[in-house]
Structure 1
């Protein structure tokens, strides 16, 4: 591989979702982090993070709605 050539990104969107999920908890092994940095597509990570935040907010709103209804 030439020095200026970008590494090929070969991880799927599901792998990006998994990495973002574990990152929300702050639990990542250094080896996994390094693999993610090489293999994950940055666009997939951004979309996965936005989706994760939306799900998190939805769950919080649902819990608040249930607590207030009691």
Structure 2
């Protein structure tokens, strides 16, 4: 009989992956643009540490929100928005 897979073992193996944080940041940046080769995606799935990807996603989302807030403040402050 087949032994059931243990997800915690898969997670531990995934966390031990050697992908760098910067590789994770690059993958997250490409995902924000929505432009990604299927082969690159598959390669990243096998190399990247999921913890790095989560942290990189949170950092990228925070930077995106900060950039939007700064852009809105600049537009409002410059008077461009006053129609």
Sort the TM-score into its range (normalised by shorter chain): 0.7 to 0.9
- TM-score, structure 1 normalization: 0.88
Q: Which runs of 5+ in 2 are unaligned?
A: 1-8, 79-83
Match of 1:64 among 39, 48, 72: 72
Shift in Å, 1:60: 0.2
- Compare CA radii of gyration and give the structure with the larger one: 2
Which one scores higher on RCO, CA 8 angstroms, separation ≥ 6? 1
CA RMSD of superposed structures (Å): 1.7
Aligned residues: 67
Q: Which runs of 5+ in 1 are unaligned?
A: none
